[in-house]
Structure 1
Amino acid sequence: MGDTFQVIQEKLIRMVEHINELKQLSACTYEEYVNDIKLKYAIERLLQLIVDLALDINNMILAYLKRPPASDYFNSFIDLSEAGVLDVDFAVKIAPASGLRNRLVHQYEKIDDKIVYNSVKMTIEDFSKYVDIISRYIGV
């Protein structure tokens, strides 16, 4: 338990760092976002890193609870709600972030700049709440 929760705590610390970095960049306008390729890539990368950390944490908690691995990234949030770690409404709200992450990483389709830009505020809010919930769960 101690080692698993220690690793989760370290991942939460990194997530908070990335959320804070994203907050700093979130003051940009949509025009600045689409016209500054470095800013755009920085925001996209931070979104990916935040979601990746959550997915790692989700799977670590599921393994700790001796539950089977989630069938996919989306369901890792749903499975945590079924395990009583996340509230079901919150899990359903945050789970679609995995789809945006997949589009950013794998470029399955043209990335809609408006969707990415508009997801920044939600990512900051939802994953800040996620950090609070998981921190309480592991007792930090």
Structure 2
Amino acid sequence: MINKEFVRERLLLINSFLQELHDLASLDKDSFISQKRNAAAAESFLRRTLEAIFDIGRHILAKSGYMDLSTEYKSIAKGLGEIGIINKELSKKLAQMAGYRNRLVHLYNLISDEELYNIITSDLKDIEDFVSAIKKYISN
């Protein structure tokens, strides 16, 4: 059985992190890049957001009897799409997020401040779509 409280707690974290990311995204590019703390904060909030997303996905899959789909980040994205928790398009985007999460964790030295700025100014809607889909799922 899905622990809705666990899921809700992670959704609250995601929303909190999203607010911080939106605040950083409201800066113009030069202002964002001129202060190293901005990129560091964006990286941290983005990584933590992705961890919470995949915690939710792993939990839902494991508790729904799809343990084999809950072990790797990309398989979590695929599994959520396969069982209809999220649509196929969002599933593909979530798989890309899984790859980016791995870059944040393992190849952090290759991520530029400009890249982070571009992500937080253009890709947060995908995270918001995930939150909406999960809220809809747990309310049923």
TM-score by length of 2: 0.89
Supply the distance in 2 between the matched residues of 1:106 and 1:131 (Cα, whole angstroms): 26
Residue of structure 1 equivalent to 2:48: 49
Q: Give the AA of the match of 2:110.
A: K
SS at match of 1:28: coil
Percent of aligned pairs with the same residue?
Answer: 27
Q: Give the AA of the match of 2:31.
A: E
Residue of structure 2 equivalent to 1:102: 102
Alignment of 1:52-131 (within 5 A): 52-67=51-66, 68-107=68-107, 110-131=110-131
Supply the distance in 1 between the matched residues of 2:110 and 2:17 (Cα, whole angstroms): 25
Residue of structure 1 equivalent to 2:7: 8
Report runs of 4+ in structure 1 exceeding 3 Å deviation: none
Q: Give the AA of the match of 1:126.
A: D
Supply the distance in 2 between the matched residues of 1:42 and 1:108 (Cα, whole angstroms): 13
Is the 8 Å Cα contact of residues 47 and 123 (structure 1) preserved in structure 2?
A: no
Supply the distance in 1 between the matched residues of 2:93 and 2:5 (Cα, whole angstroms): 27
Supply the distance in 2 between the matched residues of 1:32 and 1:119 (Cα, whole angstroms): 16
Residue of structure 1 equivalent to 2:28: 29
Q: Deviations over 1:81-134 (max 9, x none)?
A: 011111111111232112222222222651133322111134421111111110
Residue segments in structure 2 that go unaligned for 5+ positions in a row: none
Q: Give the AA of the match of 2:16.
A: E
Is the 8 Å Cα contact of residues 69 and 75 (structure 2) preserved in structure 1?
A: no
Q: Give the AA of the match of 1:81.
A: G
Is the 8 Å Cα contact of residues 39 and 116 (structure 2) preserved in structure 1?
A: no
Structure with more of its chain in helix, by fraction:
2
Q: Please, what is the CA RMSD of the aligned residues?
A: 1.8
Residue segments in structure 1 that go unaligned for 5+ positions in a row: none
Q: Give the AA of the match of 1:50.
A: T
TM-score by length of 1: 0.89
